[in-house]
Structure 1
């Protein structure tokens, strides 16, 4: 692997820290989707995590690297939801204060869960830039430590433990498909995969509504994009982190964008065929396959990382009721 990625020893240290904190999620065979996807389907259901998403891994790993003084002052994060839950849960475990700055349009289920975990929730703006401006203001006023949602190596290492688990469960995997928002998950996972076996293909999938990596890779530099309305609320980050971009540009084999209609069909397909409830952000990989943007072979073993399952009841009902399901 190129030196650009996060070193395997850093990923292994993260896995050691995370023992008995959160879950080692199973790798499930999704054979009922084979005929639609065109390959042997496996899914890594991070929606089964204790907080409903992979974010608990990175947040917990980062906070376990902090000193006593930092923990006594408290931590702060900007998040559309899942990172908020990860930080809130980790803060509760470590008996420290968590302040979460969420967008005003954050899903109700994620706001309520963060509060239930004891976090102070502040609603501010609709873009990641607006949220981080508020975060910086609060850090200056109170001395909180920022737990960034994607642009932090300790956080990326925590997320990368998902990749280590995939390889242990299915060392012969041919391709791993990962949802792509800010890039923390993909940066960690691709470092784990390529650091172990460079021949395994790694694909990142983002929504057409916020194509920050597609545009950035075309421009060969991190680029801010305008945000459009999307069901994939967990992928609303408008600009890649510098370190994330460096890793993804160097190591990821392909970045794909998917539209809203394919996203709806994929979320519904996962529910109907695997009986898993995932949020639309988690279904982007399946959406790329169903929409024909991810070209696969029948004998390929393909693992789709399902990043989370914190979806509002109203959103899920709308997706399930919307249009016919083309399952057969």
Structure 2
């Protein structure tokens, strides 16, 4: 049974193994939002995400009952590492089934904790089905990432830490995928502070749980597509939905652009690296989707920090473009001596720093005697970019902006 007692028992189990992550005041977010904002930094957890709490509690409970026969899980990310870490801690065998498309870095991360990895299927659902069958055939216990009540109890320990640090918290904002995190956290919160507002946030590209919350019944989706891969859950769990319907006061969603802007904000302003799933609460706050009384004390869970470096690079690049700190131009020049110098002289005069440049005189879309110059510029905001456009037009240069 998932209740405050089971969550407190989980808290005793994870002591000394799971990090007590910081719950830090965020002054810039507080100023922007008008609330008193605190960030629960589960991105600094031992495996880089909150999933360790639930996985460790589940496996610890098995060991307490004398079951050391091994565990199996299906995951392409944070849950896999949590199960692998916990199994290694107790010296039991763990097998993780991961989709064949799982990045090598994630596979290696699980193997480093001593787990066996099986690559099977083209997506999570196929890996999940195989893992369940594998568990039955080998007498391994399947550790579900969110529908298991002992897993949910482990995730609920986050609430206990938050309320120990800030007793008069008015609201919690929690990321939602399968719903295990918010189920455990909300049960603890409503037991300790019944008036606390629980706000769920999901990705628009994975709408199953929000649609189910709005309809008050489980609804699945055909597919998911979001940069927040940690909460990209296709189907709704009736088990976690029941807790969400009982305890969650409002349910919001954010798009990928909003998620990306939150990741960049947290990296620049808070000096913390957070994955897409971990940033959705901040994204909702930044984009005006949270409705609370002014000055309310708000705790936001940064659920994980295991972001792929390629994705991070893309987010930074797009963020610089969106905030007018970078500008990409394709300029057509007459292919003759001095033309390129005339162009770069204008950039020098307006103080635009060239960070990348390319020269092409062979494209089939060029007129004879012309050349394309592609250039990426470091700029100082929208006014600076407007000045660059004006000076290029005055200089007679034909150009287009690239996004």
Counterpart position of 1:102: 98
Q: How far 1:52 moved relative to its partner? A: 0.5
Match of 2:189 among 190, 193, 215: 193
Across the two proteins, how many residue pairs are aligned to each other?
Answer: 324
> Once the two structures are superposed, what CA deviation does each residue of 1:254-308 show, in whole Å capped at 9, x if it has no partner?
1111100000001111111110001111000111112222234441111110001
Cα distance in 2 for residues equivalent to 1:107 and 1:88:
17
The equivalent of 1:261 in structure 2 is 257
Q: Which residue of 2 aligns with 1:178?
A: 174
Q: Return closer, same or farther for 1:171/1:246 CA change in 2, 3 Å cut-off.
A: same
In structure 2, the CA distance between the partners of 1:70 and 1:315, relative to structure 1 (3 Å rule), is: farther
Aligned to 1:206: 202
Structure with a larger share of its residues in strand? 2
CA RMSD of aligned residues (A): 1.9
Aligned residue number for residue 44 of structure 1: 40
Change (3 A) 1:68 1:141: farther
TM-score, normalised to structure 2, is 0.77
CA distance in 2, matches of 1:133, 1:109: 23
* Equivalence for 1:79: 75
Q: 1:32 to 1:202 in 2, by over 3 A?
A: same
Structure 1: runs of 5 or more not aligned = none
Where structure 2 has 5 or more consecutive residues not aligned to the other structure, the ranges are 325-380, 382-403
If you compute each CA radius of gyration, which structure gives the higher value, 1 or 2? Answer: 2
What TM-score, normalized by structure 1, do the two folds share? Answer: 0.93
Runs of 4+ in 1 over 4 A off after TM superposition: 67-71, 325-328
Native 8 Å contact 1:27 1:44 kept in 2 = yes
Q: Do the aligned residues in 2 keep the contact of 1:127 with 1:238 (CA within 8 Å)?
A: no
Alignment partner of 1:272 is 2:275: no
Check whether the contact 1:128–1:237 (CA below 8 A) recurs between aligned residues.
no
Alignment deviations for residues 18-59 of structure 1 (CA, whole Å, 9 cap, x no partner):
111111111111112223333221100001111001011000
- Residue aligning to 1:143: 139
Conservation of the 8 A alpha-carbon contact between 2:35 and 2:294? yes
Residue pair 2:62, 2:68 contacting (<8 A) in 1 also: no
Q: Closer, same or farther in 2 for the Cα pair 1:142/1:68, shift >3 Å?
A: farther
**Cα shift readout 1:152-187 (whole Å, capped 9, x = no counterpart):** 111100000001111111111111000101111000
Deviations 1:94-147 (A, max 9, x none): 001111112334344322210111111222335443222111221132111001
Return the alpha-carbon distance in structure 1 between the equivalents of residues 270 and 122 of structure 2.
33
* Structure with more contact order per residue of length (Cα contacts < 8 Å, sep ≥ 6): 1
- More moved, 214-223 vs 314-323: 214-223
In the TM superposition, what are the counterparts of 1:105-254 in structure 2 within 5 Å? 105-254=101-250
CA shift in 2, pair 1:48/1:129, >3 Å: same
